[in-house]
Amino acid sequence: MRFADAARPELADPSSRRTRRQAATRARARQAEATAGLPDWERLREAGAAIRDRTLRDLGAHLEALEASVTEEGGRVHWARDAAEARRIISRLLPGDTEAGLVRSDVTDEIGLEGGNAGPHTRAAVVGARFLVAETGTLVVTDPGESLTFPGTVVVVAGIEDTVPTWSDLEVLLQLLPRSEAGRRMHPAVSTRTGDLQLVLLDNGRTRALADETGRAALRCIHCSACRDVCPVYERTGARPYGPGRAGPIGAVLTPQLGGVEASLGASLPFASTLCGACADVCPVKIDIPGLLVHLRGEVVESRRRRPVPTPELLLMRGLAWSMGDERRYEQTLVRRARWAGLLARDGRIRRLPGLLGKWTDARDLPVPPRQSFRAWWRRRP
Amino acid sequence: MRIAVFITCWGDALFPGTGKAMVRLLERLGHEVTFEPAQTCCGQMHWTTGYRPEAISLARRFAEVFRDHELIVTPSASCAATVRTAYPRMDPALAGLRVYELTELLVDILGVTDVGASYPHRVTYHPTCHSVRALGLGDRPLRLLRAVRGLELAGLPAADECCGFGGAFAIKNADTSVAMVADKIAHIHETGADIVCATDDSCLAHIGGALSRLRSGVRAVHIAEILASEEGAGERAAAGTGGVPGRIAERMTRRVRRSEAR
């Protein structure tokens, strides 16, 4: 479903809008407080971005190092091409009626895992990883980590990009994450486990995203949710219109990157932003989300150009570009437009426009363009 | 100083009053204003909507038209930001064009904050996203507004939050766009202002269009119009710009000014 259609019922629900507005206000204030008190916050962000870029550039080598360390510590790495394969691997690792607790993460959501907390009866745990340190094969989570002390099977699920080469890299990311995620200076608890891990590493479109040199930067994401907290669009619509993947600005980038821009959700998500830039300002690893959205909009339009019948929008945009390509054509367009506008105007405003532009006048007037454009005025100036 | 104006396609067609005000203001400050008639659009609309080849050819055209100009000014933070930040991404050869947003030119290059304007209204200022985040204009527009005679400046709550325009967003996600402007308008009403001003006619068309549809009585006015207003011109501004009374008043003011010069 297109984002705009899925957003409509959410916009019409006053109580969830109030809840989100209040949550956004609190989160923004907390985040601002946690980062303002840190004199080298900008340098920390630079460092975080550099670590993530370096990791992604050589991801193949870091993944090999990770696999070697995990294996050395008595664990095993399972490679999953997509969500279905990841689920198959997990059910093979936890056969039959094994009751397993779940520590959820964006990646466990991505592959559609559901389940409760680890209780006294559970004999296994499925843990969504926060990070994986390649040099030692260590799993890192940002909670007290009860599920990590299980004597039984611990199945860990992570995206291939959740790898961190070294502990000193992790140190930087663990300073960024709590401030951006919850407006806290540090996580109340960070737990690790090295050894005896069944590690499921998920691709699910990531290698494709990595191959795009511009788009790759989106995989810097360390899953903090700061962009979502500041996003004025997310504040109005909530998570649902973003589909089954990540919500908020980074979701509008990642979902089309991982799943392609052909389906209606993937094609509409890059446009689900005003490009206001609030997300880029708070991103702890400096992902230029508006820039990536514009990049993806280009991909959407390119894929539409290949259709045999051009869309009305394509015709409109091409026509505009053609008229703007020459000042005489352009001025003719201005004159013609002013004439049409004069016919459509009532009491000095335009209240209804046909076609695509009717979406504007559904709720907004348009001023009547004056008969004389700026350039015509300039020519007649004494 | 010799200053070339880039009026923007949006301004040329829909809001010529803004461009005229900018010209009036710069000339009043003693500068020579030039207008390249070959200018059309900077390509922002095509670029941000995903029409790359069209945007790049408009950007190349823009660079060609303004090639010989040292100093270019535009009454739009988002068009200035397009030239300065998007052009180098389109083609590295397009980097380095000196395009300034109007308030930035006034404060940073021309070194004025008191432009001799008079505007007896209660005004609130909406900092547009591109003026805050892409250009980092900071309090420059506010410093200019504070120096305007008779202007009562009212602080806008949650000022930095986007109004919901977003170019194609206003059409493609019209419902969310309107939900955002509804909140912006609520904040504008909280200030008790009669006028909301900004550095971008695009955002103002969105805010002003919603204000007009609601018959709210609050008007959206470009900051150039306020800075260009002089004593006794308040009535003209209130009567609306670009309309017939506005044009007559403008001609009369010009005639008066000319006779004064004699």
pLDDT digits (tens, 9 = 90+) for B10-68: 999 899 999 999 999 999 999 999 999 999 999 999 999 999 999 999 999 999 999 99
For A358-371, write each residue's pLDDT tens digit: 999 999 999 988 88
What is the percent of chain B where pLDDT is above 70? Answer: 89
Beta-carbon separation of B165 and A3 below 8 A: no
Give the minimum alpha-carbon distance from B90 to chain A in angstroms, rounded to a whole number: 11
* Interface ipTM above 0.90: yes
What does the pLDDT read at residue B239?
45
How far from the centroid of its chain's Cα atoms is residue B57's Cα? 24
Closest Cα in chain B, distance from residue A327 (Å):
5
Other beta carbons within 10 angstroms of residue A194's beta carbon come to 18
Which structural domains are found in chain A, ordered by start?
A: 3-34+209-305 (1.10.1060), 38-204 (3.40.50.10420), 322-380 (no CATH)
Query: What is the mean predicted confidence (pLDDT) over A171-189?
Result: 92
Tell me which residue in B15, B162, B172 faces A232 most closely, judged by beta carbons. Answer: B162
Residues of B with Cβ-Cβ distance to A337 under 8 angstroms: 13
Minimal C-alpha gap between B52 and chain A (Å): 6
**Going from the N-terminus, what domains does chain B have, and what CATH number goes with each?**
2-109 (3.40.50), 122-252 (3.40.50)
If you average pLDDT over residues A236-243, what whole number do you get? 97
Q: Is the pLDDT reported for residue B261 higher than 90?
A: no
pLDDT of residue A39: 87
pLDDT digits (tens, 9 = 90+) for A293-347: 999 999 999 999 999 999 999 999 999 999 999 999 999 999 998 888 888 998 8
Quick one: pLDDT at residue B234? 47
Partners of A297 on chain B (C-beta within 8 Å) are 48-50
Q: How many CB pairs under 8 A join A and B?
A: 187
In chain B, whose CA is at the least distance from the CA of A298? Answer: B50
Chain A residues within 8 A of B240 when measuring between CB atoms = 348
Closest residue of A to B51, CA-based? A298
Q: Which of B12, B176, B210 sits opposite A236 (nearest CB)?
A: B176
Q: Reply yes or no on whether the pLDDT at B107 is more than 90.
A: yes
Chain A nearest C-alpha distance from B247 (Å): 10
Query: Does position A75 have pLDDT exceeding 80, yes or no?
Result: yes
Confidence of residue A146 (pLDDT cuts 50, 70, 90): confident
Residues of chain B positioned with their CB less than 8 A from the CB of A375: 7, 12, 35, 37
Contacts of A320 in chain B (CB under 8 A): 45-46
pLDDT value at residue A120: 63
**pLDDT above 80: residue A166:** yes
Q: Mean of the pLDDT values across residues B94-101?
A: 94
Minimum CA–CA partner of B167 in chain A: A274
Number of Cβ within a 10 Å radius of residue A14: 8
What is the pLDDT at residue B246? Answer: 46
Candidates A269, A274, A366, A375, partner chain B, best to mutate (most B CBs within 10 A): A274
Collect all residues of chain A within an 8 Å Cβ-Cβ radius of residue B243. 348, 370
Q: Does residue A122 surpass a pLDDT of 60? A: yes
Q: State whether B169 and A275 contact (CB < 8 Å).
A: yes
d(Cα B27, Cα B73) in Å, to the nearest integer? Answer: 13
Residues of chain A contacting residue B179, judged by C-beta atoms under 8 Å apart: 11, 236
Q: Is A160 exposed, middle or buried (0-12, 13-18, 19+ CB in 10 A)?
A: buried
Q: What is the pLDDT of residues B226-256, one digit of tens each?
A: 999 998 754 544 444 444 444 455 555 555 5
Contact A375 B7 (CB under 8 A): yes
Burial of residue B125 (number of CB atoms within 10 Å: 0-12, 13-18, 19+): buried
Inter-chain contact A294–B50, Cβ cutoff 8 Å?
A: yes
Residues of chain A above pLDDT 90, percent: 78
**Does A226 have pLDDT greater than 70?**
yes
B256 vs A268, which has greater pLDDT? A268
Query: CB-CB: which of B16, B45, B166 is closest to A372?
Result: B16
For residue A328, the SS3 value is helix
What's the mean pLDDT in A43-49? Answer: 97
